[in-house]
Amino acid sequence: MRYLDFHTHTWPEESQDTDAIISCVAPEPVCDQRTGVFLSYGIHPWYIQGHDPEKLLGHVREAAHFTRVVAIGEAGLDKVKGPPLDVQKRLFCQQIEISEIVKKPLIIHSVKANNEVLKLRKTMNPAQPWIIHGFSGHPQEMEQFLEAGFYLSFGPKILYPSNKAAESFRQVPEDRFLLETDHTNKSIEALYDKAAVIREISVKALQEAIRRNGEKLIPALKRG
């Protein structure tokens, strides 16, 4: 069975047995697609400054309708890096609306802003799935997101046993998680190997669970 790298900024090698969702950041053009490669497209909070926000939104609105773009994002809030939070929040809310219009899931970047993201989920009551990418919080934070209906995508931080993300990953329900390499040089195969050990299951069982979750969120993954 093929691996699924739910969120990455690196194109997989042609020889890899991997499906990947490549994160594209506005205003970059939508890149070419090949078999097994899908795209998400959004306004990353780090890269808002220096651009006209309305033009950035125009890029997202256009890209959102492309078949090869299967999700909106990564979009979100970051209290450590980026413009003032009110600017980030306005653009985030507008991307939520785009996600709802095109009926595609939203991949979320949240740094020190989990409370704000949870409040927006409750206020806006979206129909489309929301996925926190690179989740690295402790199990109590995980439970808050799960109760609010989120999915969680875990990255290379689970490779380190002392990291709270590893314990959260051990406990997360089988139908609510994904794996990603994000912007690192870690291989998706190594991530799956470690993840299987953490959950005390086979790599094949892990692949099957992640494939089910991915295809439930993004039916286009079924077609490759």
Residue 201 pLDDT: 98
206 found inside a domain: yes
169 found inside a domain: yes
Residue 163 pLDDT: 82
CA distance 145 to 152: 8
Find the CATH number of the domain harbouring 84: 3.20.20.140
Q: What phi and psi, each to the nearest 5 degrees, are found at residue 163?
A: -80, 140
Residue 223 pLDDT: 67
What share of the chain has pLDDT > 70, as a percent? Answer: 98
**Number of structural domains in the chain:** 1
Mean pLDDT over 47-53 rounds to: 94
List strands edge to edge, sheet with 130-132.
Answer: 3-8, 18-25, 37-42, 69-78, 106-111, 130-132, 151-154, 177-179
pLDDT digits 0-9 by tens, 135-160: 999 999 999 999 999 999 999 999 98
124 found inside a domain: yes
Residue 224 pLDDT: 60
Residue 13 pLDDT: 78
189 found inside a domain: yes
CA distance 44 to 160: 27
Write down the residue that tokens 């993300």 correspond to.
Answer: 165
User: Structure pTM?
Assistant: 0.95
223 found inside a domain: no
Q: Is the pLDDT of residue 15 over 70?
A: no
91 found inside a domain: yes
pLDDT digits 0-9 by tens, 88-119: 999 999 999 999 999 999 999 999 999 999 99
Question: Which pLDDT band, with edges at 50, 70 and 90, does 209 fall under?
Answer: very high
Residue 72, both tokens: 């909106």
Domain hosting residue 184, numbered range: 3-218
CA distance 68 to 143: 32
